[in-house]
Amino acid sequence: MNEATNVFPIAPGDWLGMIGGGQLGRMFCHAAQSLGYKVAVLDPDTASPAGAVADMHIQASYDDEAGLRQLSARCKSVTTEFENVPAQSLQMLADLGSSVRPAAAAVAIVQDRISEKAFIQEAGVPVAPYVPVRSDLDLVAAPDTLFPGILKAARLGYDGKGQARVGNRQEAQQAFAEFGVACVLEALLPLASELSVVMARGADGKTVFFPSAQNEHRDGILAVSSVDAQSAGQALAVQAVQSAQAIAEGLRYVGVLCVEFFVLQDGSLIVNEIAPRPHNSGHYTMNASISSQFEQQARVTAGLPLGSTDSLCSVVMLNILGDVWFDSSTGGKREPDWSAVLAVPGAKLHLYGKAEARRGRKMGHVNVLGATLADAQAGAAQVAQVLGVPF
């Protein structure tokens, strides 16, 4: 069954499928269920955050044929929560008759940094100077202008994992040997800031964009996203939206997509990477937008019209890592003071239901709302102080 013969829109009360059982899948479940859908989640973890709230949890690996057949038999349409679901699994679901959003072909491009960067350039959008690295000879031949640089594993990297800063060719060769997989070598550029655009595109090509978020990373993990409700018309935001649209159209993308950008010190904009799913920097939409990124994902998966992305207010999103469960003086574990967090005006707490807090593990986030960005920042500073994290 193909898209043309499938029945859309899918009516509330029917089933939608999700591959992946992490926090993004969990928040999708909540959004889809609020629209009246039942959700089946395929994930191998018995204690997955999404599986805990789904209407059905198919405990199977992402390439398990029996599990995929069970998911397809239950769900007319299936989506994903992370980019490393095997593209072959998505194609199998499509061959079995489920609509898959995003499609296997689009995800396959984004799963590999080498193909991703080549595609972005073909779409007419700039990226940092780079070379593919499939062998040591590629590093020998790499231009001197790529050093100092950053070596990134071509596949399966996230939150700073699978990356190494390299000052010279020898360091790059050493890192490549340690990774043992194909990589890309990118030049380190003078960065002024980072921003991202989260968007949703339907099967009919209609596209909506959320206001761009200004992002701050620490140790390769997103720490803070800030959104000024009045920023959508600024020149840089407009340019980012245009670039994201070119990428989505080139991919023939259907679903929720995030494009991460670097803003250079000269004011120019380059793409860092694409995430074919809802994104950490889009969590602010859960409280500060008319329709959240997860509601948009549910709408696209069901073939419903896209919702409004208009801002209700300005917002600062703070990631909560497992580190905040550890006392800074003793190193022992203790529960964070959630009452003090929720006493901050405008604070909206979202915890992901993960059983164990570990350092560096994403456990939740707080959206701090404000009539102005300054108001939201003031509230976020209070929340950060309670949690003992920098802001």
- Strands in 56-58's sheet, in edge-to-edge order, are 56-58, 38-42, 15-19, 77-80, 99-100
Please state the domain count of the chain. 3
Given a cut of 50, whether residue 321 has pLDDT beyond it is: yes
Q: pLDDT at position 162, please?
A: 86
Of 187, 205, 237, the domain-final residue:
187
**CA–CA dist 140, 16 (Å, integer):** 49
Q: How confident is the model at residue 108 (pLDDT cuts 50, 70, 90)?
A: very high
Burial (CB < 10 A; 0-12, 13-18, 19+), residue 115, is middle
Position 7 in a domain: no
Does the reported pTM lie above 0.75?
yes
Q: What is the mean pLDDT of residues 343-371?
A: 97
Task: Give CA separation, 368 vs 211, 228, 232, 258, 365, in Å.
Answer: 16, 12, 19, 21, 10
Of 100, 116, 139, the domain-final residue:
100
Shared domain check, 299 and 287: yes
Position 282 in a domain: yes
Shared domain check, 261 and 164: no
Position 330 in a domain: yes
Position 108 in a domain: no
Q: pLDDT at position 160, please?
A: 62
Position 320 in a domain: yes
Shared domain check, 222 and 153: no
Shared domain check, 369 and 234: yes
- What CATH number corresponds to the domain at position 49? 3.40.50.20
Of 62, 83, 100, the domain-final residue:
100
- What CATH number corresponds to the domain at position 161? 3.30.1490.20
Shared domain check, 201 and 254: yes
Encode burial over 70-106: b for 16+ CB neighbours within 10 A, e otherwise: bbbebbbbbbbbbbebbbebbbbbbebebbbbbbbeb
Residue 278: domain span = 191-387
The pLDDT tens digits for 144-153 are: 999 999 999 9
The pLDDT tens digits for 197-254 are: 999 999 999 999 999 999 999 988 999 999 998 876 788 999 999 999 999 999 999 9
The pLDDT tens digits for 182-198 are: 999 999 999 999 999 99
Position 354 in a domain: yes
Position 66 in a domain: yes
Position 115 in a domain: no
